Amino acid sequence: MSRLDKDPTVVEWSSEEHVIPYRSPIDNRIHRYFVDFYVKKKMPDGKTQTALIEIKPKAQTRPPVVINKPNKRYINEVMTWGVNEAKWKAATAFCKDRGWTFEILTEDHLGLKF
């Protein structure tokens, strides 16, 4: 967040203020997705660009590897992936309707080592 405060191109930003409805594949009900960040930046041409940004561990940004004997951990990973995918599809459509972008950042993007 200090990166956003210090970046002179950032016009405005907020954290978890944009709520996007999505349908969960687990219970088929509508839930609310609070996207991590909203960022509006001034581009070199003077126009602004707006993005919604989600921060996730890299392991949660790809589907789990299929295994022959599903265990609790695998089932949990499949469910997490399904919910995340539903959220991200809803966020992508939400942003597209507004001319914004949706980005998922991982520890690789943030320069973190675990």
Pairing of strands 48-55, 37-42: antiparallel
**Rounded distance, CA 53 to CA 103, Å?**
5
List per-residue pLDDT tens for the chain, 114 residues long.
788 999 999 999 999 999 999 999 999 999 999 999 999 999 999 999 999 999 998 888 889 888 888 899 999 999 999 999 999 999 999 999 999 999 999 987 776 555
- Say whether 40 sits in a helix, a strand or coil: strand
CB 56 within 8 A of CB 36: no
* DSSP reduced 3-state for 88: helix
- Confidence (pLDDT) at 18: 95
DSSP 16: S
The sheet that has 48-55: what strands, in order across it? 10-15, 37-42, 48-55, 101-105
What are the sequence ranges of the domains in the chain?
A: 2-110
Any idea what DSSP says for residue 64?
Answer: P
Looking at residue 113, its pLDDT comes to 58
